[in-house]
């Protein structure tokens, strides 16, 4: 019985104690873990102020840390590294943490654990010791350039050895790009060997730009920007040097990226980076860079182009470079209408009514003094409300067409489509260069008339109607109208002329140009000749009839050529409506 009681009492005590301990453990464990997590990360932030909570703080694996005193390496993508190291002090293991940025500058130091002599070695944890490192180069601290602790030679010696090994490790593993041994500074690669670099970031306002650092090369020969950008993956970074005389690019090196190997990674390849050597300022501005090596990485390249543009603009703001708007205008016009002779441009702005968007209007002539186009130099609003800045652009209209091209001064901007439309309307209203078919095509549509005058300027412009002519007899009486219009066919646009007299009776339909193969409809056509487009009996039903009596909806498509006939029907219907509401209604 006695033994039983002993065992029983022991059991009760052990069980009750276990329950108590377990209960407390349940309560405190999460709190302890949280506190430890916070304490550890607080140290990280302390030594690396640029850290953000979103940064990946997973320690690197697979590094050979043997004999380096380093216990942990955290690589913060695009920012730097945090090392934790431990060495034997005077009477304790001393653990410290040190942050190093991408340039090898120490961002912060903190002693994490130490149990050395208070008043001596323990001073390694004092701010006086800890605060001396931030801003120093790791390499120089590694070489022993720091203030030791007076009276604590062992502790100081232990630290010196540890930081030296750490600096060597850093140099071999990260600073040199992995190869170990002597690697040249990428900044020297893109400028000149042995160049001096002065950090002048503080002199410029880099907020809101992707630039993280600005350095002058050999005082004032060139400037290097350290830039981060987001490609397919975030946190890519590069350096780019601009010559301060020509403002062209001297060179470009990707420092870090996480892009997909074989795709986005092309930006770090020598072939790719080589194209930046001597890249013209404006090419950098406009992102005129090629993807080489056969890889296409549109997302990466677009990110890079955007950041190049921002960097180049930043450079222009502080250092100048780039062309003036006048130079640019001159160049863009020259590129659009290649000619050696700039005399062939005539500023005709004064001849036309003022428009708030239009800065200049230029007529462009060829060597035979024939006008070959007009260029509107305008400043319009951006596409979105946020984009209210004026966007400079050229609207180029070649003679004989409505609109040939819109050339933006800055490729990255999107002009408001309404503003563009306004410009076009201005062009249409004031600069009558509507398309005109051959005289023969007009006559074919209105055989009775002898002369034709474009009156399209008096009516609303429509993309489907290229021109409207008054058909006149010898004594200039208006007999009717000829529409020069476009329909979409199976083989492309079909242009045609269609006459209608003052009474609304249609004259002839004449096809001006087409790309159709109407013959497909032949088996269904009774007349083999009429089966050949444009001479078809199907079209005949629109000739010599009262315009108002034509109900396009009732007319069937021709089987086999339904796309062509459908497109024609749409165009006819539009002309009928346009005529009745605008031209005919004016009568």
Nearer Cβ to another protein (114/506) = 114
Q: What are the tokens at 406?
A: 């819109």
Greatest Cα pair distance, the chain, in angstroms, is 143
User: Rounded distance, CA 272 to CA 253, Å?
Assistant: 10
Report residue 490 as tokens: 């199976």
Rounded to whole angstroms, how far apart are CA atoms 224 and 242?
6
Nearest approach in angstroms of CB 28 to another protein is: 4
Smallest gap, in angstroms, from Cβ of residue 118 to another protein? 4
Beta carbons within 8 Å of 215's beta carbon, 6+ residues apart: 187, 197, 198, 199, 200, 201, 223, 224, 226
| Nearest distance, CB of residue 69 and another protein, angstroms | 8
H or E element at residue 223: strand 222-229
529 with 535: CB under 8 angstroms?
Answer: yes
Nearer to another protein by C-beta: 41 or 196?
A: 41
Structure tokens at 342: 């700039």
Cβ proximity to another protein, 93 vs 302, nearer residue: 93
Q: How far apart are CA 505 and CA 548, in angstroms?
A: 8
Given the complex with another protein, which of 39 and 200 has the nearer CB atom? 39
Rounded Cα distance, 110 and 553, in Å = 84
By the 10 Å C-beta count (0-12 exposed, 13-18 middle, 19+ buried), 409 is classed as middle
**CB nearer another protein, residue 90 or residue 377:** 90
Backbone angles phi, psi at 402, to 5 degrees: -75, -50
Q: Which is nearer to another protein, 82 or 240 (CB)?
A: 82
Question: Phi and psi dihedrals of 38, rounded to 5?
Answer: -65, -40
Rounded to a whole number of angstroms, the minimum distance from the CB of residue 161 to another protein is 13
Residues in touch with another protein (CB under 8 A): 2, 5-6, 9-10, 13-14, 17-18, 20-21, 24-25, 27-29, 31-32, 35-36, 39, 71, 86, 88, 90-93, 95, 113, 115, 117-120, 154
Find the shortest distance in angstroms from Cβ 25 to another protein: 5
* Minimum distance, C-beta of residue 65 to another protein, in the bound complex (Å): 9
Q: How far is the CB of 133 from another protein (least distance, A)?
A: 22
Counted residue by residue, the chain has a size of 587
Minimum distance of another protein from residue 122's CB (angstroms): 9
| Among the listed residues 94, 182, 78, the one whose alpha carbon sits nearest the alpha carbon of residue 139 | 182
Name the residue nearer to another protein (CB basis): 15 or 417. Answer: 15
User: SS3 for 448-494, per residue?
Assistant: CCCEEEECHHHCCCECCEEEEEEEECCCCCEEEEEEEEEEECCCCEE
Minimum CB separation from another protein for residue 30, in Å? 9
Q: Which tokens sit at 151?
A: 């009276």
| Minimum CB distance to another protein smaller for 129 or for 456 | 129
DSSP string, 258-309: -PPTTTGGGGGSHHHHHTTTT--HHHHHHT-----TT---HHHHHHHHHHHH
Rounded to the nearest angstrom, the gap between the alpha carbon of residue 351 and the centroid of all alpha carbons in its chain is: 39
CB of 63 to another protein, least distance (A): 14
Least distance (Å) from another protein to the CB of residue 47? 19
Rank residues 118 and 194 by Cβ distance to another protein and give the closer one: 118
Task: Return the closest-CA partner of residue 183 out of 76, 274, 255, 129.
Answer: 255
Cα–Cα distance between 410 and 579 in angstroms, integer? 41
Of residues 325, 365, 363, 321, the one with CA closest to residue 341:
365
Of 28 and 548, CB closest to another protein = 28
Got the DSSP string for 14-49?
HHHHHHHHHHHHHHHHHHHHHHHHHHHHHHHHHH-T
Least distance (Å) from another protein to the CB of residue 233? 33
Please give the sequence-ordered ranges of beta strands (E in DSSP) within 77-117, or none if there are none.
80-88, 93-101, 106-113
Which residue's CB is nearer to another protein, number 91 or number 451?
A: 91
- The minimum distance between CB 71 and another protein, in angstroms, equals 5
Nearer to another protein, 14 or 440 (CB): 14
Q: Which is nearer to another protein, 17 or 421 (CB)?
A: 17
């Amino acid at each position: 019985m006695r033994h039983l009681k002993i065992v029983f009492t022991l059991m009760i005590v052990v069980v009750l104690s276990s329950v108590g301990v377990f209960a407390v453990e349940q309560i405190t464990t999460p709190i302890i873990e949280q506190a430890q997590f916070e304490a550890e990360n607080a140290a990280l932030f302390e030594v690396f102020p640029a850290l953000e909570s979103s940064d990946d703080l997973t320690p690197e694996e697979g590094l050979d840390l043997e004999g380096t005193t380093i216990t942990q390496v955290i690589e913060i993508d695009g920012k730097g590294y945090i090392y934790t190291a431990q060495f034997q002090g005077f009477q304790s293991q001393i653990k410290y943490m040190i942050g190093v940025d991408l340039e090898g500058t120490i961002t912060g130091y903190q002693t994490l654990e130490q149990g050395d002599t208070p008043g001596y070695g323990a001073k390694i944890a004092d701010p006086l010791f800890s605060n001396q490192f931030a801003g120093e180069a790791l390499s120089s601290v590694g070489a022993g350039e720091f203030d030791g602790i007076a009276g604590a030679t062992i502790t100081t010696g232990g630290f010196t050895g540890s930081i030296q090994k750490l600096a060597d490790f850093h140099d071999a593993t990260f600073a040199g790009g992995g190869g170990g041994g002597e690697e040249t500074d990428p900044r020297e690669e893109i400028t000149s060997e042995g160049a001096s670099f002065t950090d002048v970031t503080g002199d410029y306002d880099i907020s809101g730009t992707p630039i993280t650092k600005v350095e002058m090369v050999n005082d004032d020969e060139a400037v290097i920007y350290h830039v981060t950008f987001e490609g397919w993956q975030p946190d890519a970074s590069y350096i780019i040097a601009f010559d301060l005389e020509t403002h062209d690019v001297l060179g470009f090196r990707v420092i870090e990226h996480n892009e997909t190997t074989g795709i986005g990674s092309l930006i770090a390849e020598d072939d790719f980076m080589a194209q930046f050597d001597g890249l013209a300022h404006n090419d950098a501005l406009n992102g005129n860079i090629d993807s080489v090596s056969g890889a296409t990485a549109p997302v990466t390249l677009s990110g890079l182009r955007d950041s190049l543009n921002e960097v180049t603009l930043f450079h222009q703001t502080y250092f100048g470079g780039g062309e003036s708007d006048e130079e640019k205008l001159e160049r863009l016009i020259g590129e659009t209408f290649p000619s050696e002779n700039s005399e062939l441009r005539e500023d005709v702005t004064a001849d036309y009514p003022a428009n708030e968007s239009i800065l200049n209007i230029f007529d462009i002539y060829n060597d035979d003094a024939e006008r070959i186009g007009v260029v509107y130099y305008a400043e319009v609003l951006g596409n979105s409300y946020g984009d209210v800045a004026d966007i400079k652009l050229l609207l180029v209209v070649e003679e004989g067409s409505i609109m040939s091209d819109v050339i933006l001064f800055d490729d990255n901007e999107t002009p408001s489509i309404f503003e563009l439309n306004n410009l076009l309307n201005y062009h249409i209203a004031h600069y009558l260069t509507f398309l005109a078919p051959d005289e023969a095509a007009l006559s074919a549509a209105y055989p009775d008339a002898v002369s034709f005058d474009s009156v399209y300027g008096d009516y609303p412009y429509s993309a489907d109607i290229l021109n409207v002519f008054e058909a006149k007899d010898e004594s200039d009486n208006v007999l009717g109208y000829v529409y020069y219009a476009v329909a979409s066919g199976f083989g492309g646009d079909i242009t045609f002329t269609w006459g209608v007299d003052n009474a609304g009776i249609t004259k002839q339909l004449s096809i001006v140009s087409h790309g159709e193969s109407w013959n497909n409809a032949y088996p269904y056509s009774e007349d083999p000749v009429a089966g050949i487009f444009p001479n078809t009996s199907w079209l005949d039903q629109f000739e010599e009839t009262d315009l108002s009596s034509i109900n396009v909806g009732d007319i069937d498509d021709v089987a086999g050529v339904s796309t062509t006939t459908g497109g024609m029907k749409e165009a006819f219907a539009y002309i009928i409506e346009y005529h009745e509401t605008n031209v005919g209604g004016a009568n």
